[in-house]
Amino acid sequence: MNKLITMALLATVSMTANASNWIAGIGYTKIKTSGEGINVSLPGIQASIGHQFNFKDSHISITPVFSVTKGAGKDAFETAINVGRFDIELDIDIEIKKIESFSVRFQYDTGDSYVFIGPIRSRSEISLQVLDIRATVKGIDTGYIVGGGIDISQNASIEVSFNKIKDVSGLTAQIRFNF
């Protein structure tokens, strides 16, 4: 998986002279996780950029995409700790500090719409706060992304994608521009 992502990144860098296949997007994302008594939903604003490599005489393309998500709100969950004979309940605030992702999308284009699927690798920084104590949790994980879009003009489309990385899922809606 890492070799595929590295090869796609190198191909993107080596093709910078072909500016007609660049894509960029801006959108809203919602990240959810649940399990072990934790159920959170975190909003974020996502910006992405990529380069689409089209196969000659085909509706198939490969698109490496880099995206950055910044938190746009908080959520909270309760947890209990046991101290001797006492159970102490704590409210924990949680928010996205930053998520950087790299995906390689295998895309099928129908002319006025497209669908894609591929691997995604993300590095995340999530902020937790209990009372006056703040901590940042960092992690790097791999999963998959699937989605599609509908063209609204020659150079823009509306795109929706779903990604799953371990027990965390994300749903993103964005406007994508081709230039």
Which tens digits make up the pLDDT trace of 63-72? 999 999 999 9
* Plot region of 84 (φ>0 → left; ψ -120 to 50 → alpha; else → beta): left
Confidence of residue 6 (pLDDT cuts 50, 70, 90): low
Given a cut of 60, is residue 15 above it in pLDDT? no
The pLDDT assigned to 143 comes to 98
Q: What number is the average pLDDT over the span 127-133?
A: 90
> Looking at the domain that runs over 2-10+19-72+98-126+141-178, which CATH code has it been given?
2.40.160.20
Which residue, among 15, 110, 103, 35, has the nearest Cα to 66 in the 3D structure?
Answer: 103
**φ, ψ of residue 175 in degrees (nearest 5):** -100, 125
Domain ranges of the chain: 2-10+19-72+98-126+141-178
Burial category of 153 from C-beta neighbours within 10 Å (exposed 0-12, middle 13-18, buried 19 and up): exposed
Q: What number is the average pLDDT over the span 18-43?
A: 87
How many other CB atoms are found less than 10 A from the CB of residue 135? 10
**pLDDT > 70 in the chain, percent:** 88
Digit-coded pLDDT (tens) for 86-127? 888 888 999 999 999 999 999 999 989 999 999 999 999 999
The pLDDT assigned to 98 comes to 97
Confidence of residue 131 (pLDDT cuts 50, 70, 90): confident
Q: Which residues make Cβ contacts (< 8 Å) with residue 53, sequence separation at least 6?
A: 11, 15, 21, 61, 62, 63
The pLDDT assigned to 17 comes to 41
Rounded Cα distance between 95 and 77, Å, is 11
Confidence of residue 83 (pLDDT cuts 50, 70, 90): confident
